[in-house]
Amino acid sequence: MDLFIKFLVAAVLAGTPLLFGTAGEIVSEKVGHLNLGVEGMMSIGACAGFMAGYYSDSFLIALIAAALGGALGALVYGVLTVTFMANQNVTGLTLTIFGIGLSNFIGVYALSFSPNGTLKLPEGITAHMRSIHIPGLSDLPIVGELLFSYNPFVYLGVVLAIALSFYLSRTKTGLNVQAIGENPAAADAAGIRVIRWKYINILLGGAICGIGGAYCSMIINSGVWISNCVGGLGWISVALVIFAGWKPANAIYGSLIFGALRVLKYYVPKSYVNVPVAVYDMLPFLITALVLVVSSMHKSKGVNIPASLGLNYYREER
């Protein structure tokens, strides 16, 4: 039982960066833009957040820098796909390569100024990133550990996902945004500022991904900079969007499940189930692939995939 709770806690921690990545990508896909640059935006966010935190020793500044970094990556993507109508797949992929390269590059560059050959976040900021402690609540048995023992990112992610869910499905703006993803020409004719909202959503998505990246660089490696710290989480996030059915609220449990799959190998006792570690590592991807295939097998009108996903829009096209 104790092990199981530890497992759940680890799953939440492992799933949080996925939650940010997935939520960010959903926001972008809702306006019809499949951004394969999640990994890149997360990398830029990771680097920007870490460096800002390293030099400012402020959690808030780090968070803002990470969001700005991710949004900046998204801006490149947005300009190229929304205004210049470039191919979304290729642009996103290039953004990923760019983002990973840039963040590794800057990491190495910053390391060259470090006296001891490593970059470690200063004490002031790490204090902010520790698990919260709410007197009373956090001390509750089981519940305290399960619900009130995480670092601030976790709560930020959940609140964000719920807020996005509300934004997309309950507000007028959300309705308009969904219309853009379904049929931009119809949205345009109805008087929605298609280009503006595409940019807003793409940038917002990038900012959220950037925060997810900061989680990778600041939390996962306990405040020490390492290259490639996002390490494929961005790609899983892209896949998780399908798993979550384009709903940010679903992304919460989707990322929890995927987080669980990622840490499963540490918690399954070898004496009961002896499966090679590689199989555990493979599981999230295998399951996503299966979800992808199965959901395509019975495709109905009920599926949430935005109808114009991947297609650029030009008003005067005939």
86 binds another protein (CB under 8 A): yes
Cβ-based neighbour number of residue 272 at 10 Å: 6
Cα distance between residue 27 and residue 200, in whole Å: 9
Smallest separation (angstroms) from another protein to the CB of 183: 5
Smallest separation (angstroms) from another protein to the CB of 12: 22
292 binds another protein (CB under 8 A): yes
Closest-CA residue to 255 (of 237, 234, 279): 237
CA atoms within 13 A on the CB side of 58: 6
SS3 22: helix
Smallest separation (angstroms) from another protein to the CB of 272: 19
Selected binder of another protein within 187, 211, 219, 220 (CB under 8 A): 187
Classify residue 25 by burial, with Cβ atoms within 10 Å: 0-12, 13-18, 19+.
buried
153 binds another protein (CB under 8 A): no
With respect to another protein, which residue has the nearer C-beta, 54 or 59? Answer: 54
90 binds another protein (CB under 8 A): yes
Using CB under 8 A, which residues numbered 192 to 251 contact another protein? 192-193, 232, 235, 238-239, 242
Selected binder of another protein within 146, 182, 224, 245 (CB under 8 A): 182
Cα distance between residue 277 and residue 231, in whole Å: 17
Cα distance between residue 15 and residue 8, in whole Å: 10
With respect to another protein, which residue has the nearer C-beta, 151 or 176? Answer: 176
Q: How many residues lie near another protein (CB under 8 A)?
A: 73
130 binds another protein (CB under 8 A): no
Selected binder of another protein within 4, 105, 166, 266 (CB under 8 A): 105
Cα distance between residue 13 and residue 119, in whole Å: 23
311 binds another protein (CB under 8 A): no
104 binds another protein (CB under 8 A): yes
Q: Got the DSSP string for 153-191?
A: HHHHHHHHHHHHHHHHHHSHHHHHHHHHHH-HHHHHHTT
Q: CB–CB of 143/129 below 8 Å?
A: no
With respect to another protein, which residue has the nearer C-beta, 93 or 257? Answer: 93
Using CB under 8 A, which residues numbered 10 to 39 contact another protein? 34, 36
Which of the ranges 47-55, 125-133, 250-258, 307-315 carries the binding residues for another protein, by CB under 8 A?
A: 307-315
